[in-house]
Amino acid sequence: MPVVSKSFDLQRVEWRRVTDPDCKDFHVDFEYSLLGYDLPSGRLDMLLRYGKGGHCRRHRHVASTVTLVLEGEQFLKEMLPDGTVHAIHRKQGDYALATADAHPHDEHGGEAGATVLLSMTAPDGVLFEYFDENMENGWTVSIEEYVQNWNNGTVHGTASRASKLTTA
């Protein structure tokens, strides 16, 4: 398994910032850092960090995902098939294990933001499916794309999706 970072010292890892000014529903602004991956087995470990008011893109996890909240609080609003919304609130130290093909959700940090560890397993290589503001026009992102973009110094997604990179 290639190791990208031998430490998850939050002050020493390389962070990549993602923003999406085209999203009008909420403020897409988060950072991520790859820790390691294994393409043949479909595994990727990463850190995800939200500042105050920052959200992830609307998405669902295609991969089975372990989540561990390292700092702050994580909030999710899952969109269920019957049209209802299931709210989830995780605090520092909380652990969760989600099966593959999770419900689409909005995700953000609390008042002081959040830092979470994600450990994902995707036998077919697909990690996430992202959605536009109408929960339409989905597109997927694979482990291979994450790794290629990381190695190229860019972020996952495409320019047409208004991804912006800042290395912190």
In a domain, 10, yes or no: no
In a domain, 14, yes or no: no
Query: What length is written for the chain?
Result: 168
- What pLDDT shows up at residue 134? 67
User: What residue numbers bound the domain in which 40 lies?
Assistant: 23-167
Choice between 137 and 116, residue whose per-residue pLDDT is larger: 116
Domain containing residue 150: CATH number:
2.60.120.10
Choice between 73 and 102, residue whose per-residue pLDDT is larger: 73
Residue with tokens 């989600």: 98
CA distance 70 to 8: 10
**Model confidence over 31-45: pLDDT tens digits?**
999 999 999 999 999
What is the reported pTM? 0.84
Choice between 167 and 57, residue whose per-residue pLDDT is larger: 57
In a domain, 73, yes or no: yes
**Model confidence over 11-30: pLDDT tens digits?**
888 898 878 777 667 777 78
Beta strands in the chain (DSSP E): 16-19, 29-38, 43-50, 59-61, 64-79, 85-91, 95-98, 105-121, 126-130, 139-142, 166-167
In a domain, 16, yes or no: no
In a domain, 32, yes or no: yes
Q: Are 49 and 115 spatial neighbours (Cβ–Cβ below 8 Å)?
A: yes
In a domain, 144, yes or no: yes
Total number of domains constituting the chain: 1
In a domain, 59, yes or no: yes
In a domain, 37, yes or no: yes
